[in-house]
Structures are given as structure tokens and as C-alpha cells.
Amino acid sequence: MTLTASSNDDVFVITAPSGTGKTTLNRRLMKDPGLIGIAISMTTRPRREGEINGDHYWFVDEAEFFAEVRKGAMLEWASVFGNYYGTCYREIERIRGEGHKIILEIDVQGWTQAREKLPGAVSIFIMPPSLSVLWERLTGRASDSPGSQWRRIQTAREELDHAPEYQYFVINDRLESALAELKGILMNQPDHHLLSRKSGLEHCQKLKEEWEKSPVFRQLRTQFSSGNSTPEGS
Ligand code: ADP
Ligand code: 5GP
């Protein structure tokens, strides 16, 4: 399967380390009628309390997931935190058919696969103000086990190495400011607070240094050093 449009300037790829707030931001964007549509990913991850099938994700088992992969129906797919996640082409076509801008919430592996298939797409990397704030958000959400929260912050650190593959950077510190910056990018009218690429990459470097130097993460590394490699929900 391929995409109908020759240009993909209506596609906005949003990547953010888990817990940064992309779901919160995107749900707020959805409140603007007619602005965006979010491509609903397919996942084998167990449903969290409050999540709705076909709204947050299409929750499927591995057999259903790989049937879509074999059919060639997936733009991209990846194993994330021990479960599979992927974007079906038909989600992009559905939103395009409605005349809305298309948001893809995918991880760095997904963007690596999708970027060649989506020339012209706009890529945005959302970062937390600090990794200690990210840790507070991950633990505050309380929907994942402590082992899973730890895997998520470790993965967050790895994802920072991929920041240079993105065009725009937003720091989700104050929600309203981040939202205004994100809307500016979507409307092709960047907010005057939008970070330059240089400042975005500098912030990213600051986060990496925090990971190395902060006593909080030193202590957590010791605490979790026995490891936890089982898939979420199992
Ligand atoms: P993600 O989708 O990136 O994994 P969520 O949107 O689920 O992240 O947000 C993780 C947690 O952080 C949630 O509890 C959410 O309410 C909180 N959160 C998101 N953005 C902000 C913000 N700007 N300030 C404070 N808390 C936030
Ligand atoms: P969560 O389990 O917290 O909902 O999502 C975990 C991670 O999966 C997030 O980092 C998110 O970006 C990623 N993810 C969600 N949907 C997709 C998808 O369709 N493709 C890829 N590659 N990653 C996804």
C-alpha cells in the first residue's frame, strides 16, 4: 500500500519520550474543531484503565498485528517497551479524507522507518524541561509498574540521541506555552517563543548531562540495576 498525496506537508510527526506529555498536548489540540486528526496506532500493549479501543489505540493481539504487517498495511511499526506499536496507512488516508492535518504519534524507531516514505512531512521532538521532571510525570501517572517507569526513562535518554533527526523542538514545561508553540508549527506560523534548532539541541544536551550527573539518577540506577525486561502487562 502507498499514500495518495505526492506531498506530505499535511503530516506532522510528533515524537516525545514517554511521559513528556504528548497525549495531553494532542488531546488539547483535538479540541480545536477541524484542525487535526490523530492517526490511531495499533498496539499489542494491554489497555490502561480509562483507555478506549479506537480512540487511544486499536488494541489487538500479536496475530492481528502481524496480519496487518504481512498485508503491507503498516507505514511503520516497532517494538517499544516489549509490545508492538504501528501506524496503518488507512489511518492517514482517513484523516486526509476528512481534510484535517494528520498527527502521527510515533517513537524514534517509527520516524526512522517512515521518513523516506513521507517526504515533506514535518517532524517535531517534544522534550521535558528536565529528566527529573520527566521522572515525576512518569511516576505520577501511576499507570505503569516501577520497572516499566524505569525502562521508560532509560529509553527517554536513548531517544535524546535521535533529536538531530527532527526539524522542530518544543519543551513541554508550561502546558499552555507548549500548546501555543505546537499550534504555531501546525499552522505554519511559528510562535515567537519557538526554540531555534540550536537552542533545542542545546536543551537536549543539558538533559543528557543531567542523566550522567544528577544524584537522583545515580540512585535510581543502583535501585533498578537488577533489571526488568518483561513486557508491560505480563
Ligand atoms: P505521554 O503521552 O507523552 O506519555 P502524558 O500526556 O500521558 O505523556 O503525560 C504524562 C503525565 O504528565 C500526565 O500525568 C500529564 O497529566 C502530565 N503532564 C503533561 N504535560 C504536563 C505539563 N506541561 N505540566 C505538568 N504535567 C504535565
Ligand atoms: P504508551 O505505551 O505510553 O502509550 O506509548 C509508548 C511509546 O510508544 C511512545 O513513546 C509512543 O511514541 C510510541 N508509539 C505509540 N504509537 C506508536 C506507533 O504507531 N508507532 C511507533 N513506532 N511508536 C508508537
**37-96 pLDDT, tens per residue?**
999 999 999 998 889 999 999 999 999 999 999 999 999 999 998 999 999 999 999 999
Average pLDDT over residues 125-144: 93
The band of 5, judged by pLDDT with boundaries at 50, 70 and 90, is low
Beta bridge partner(s), residue 76: 87
> What's the confidence (pLDDT) of residue 232?
52
Average pLDDT of 22-49?
A: 92
Q: How far apart are CA 162 and CA 168, in angstroms?
A: 13
Domains of the chain with bracketed CATH: 5-38+102-225 (3.40.50.300)
Ligand 1 atom nearest the C-alpha of 25 is 6
Q: What rounded mean pLDDT belongs to the chain?
A: 92
Range 226-234 average pLDDT: 48
Question: Distance, CA 80 to ligand 2 centroid (Å)?
Answer: 7
Query: Is this structure's pTM higher than 0.95?
Result: no
Q: How does pLDDT run across 169-224, given as a tens digit for each residue? A: 999 999 999 999 999 999 988 877 889 999 999 999 999 999 999 999 999 999 88
Cα(19) to ligand 1 centroid in Å equals 6
Order across the sheet with 74-80: list the strands: 58-59, 42-43, 83-88, 74-80
Mutation probe of ligand 1 site: the residue of 18, 24, 144, 232 with most atoms within 8 A of C-beta = 24
To which H or E segment does residue 110 belong?
A: helix 108-114
* Phi, psi for 39 (deg, rounded to 5): -65, 120
Residues in the chain: 234
Ligand 1, atom 26, lies closest to the CA of: 137
Closest C-alpha residue for ligand 2 atom 21: 106
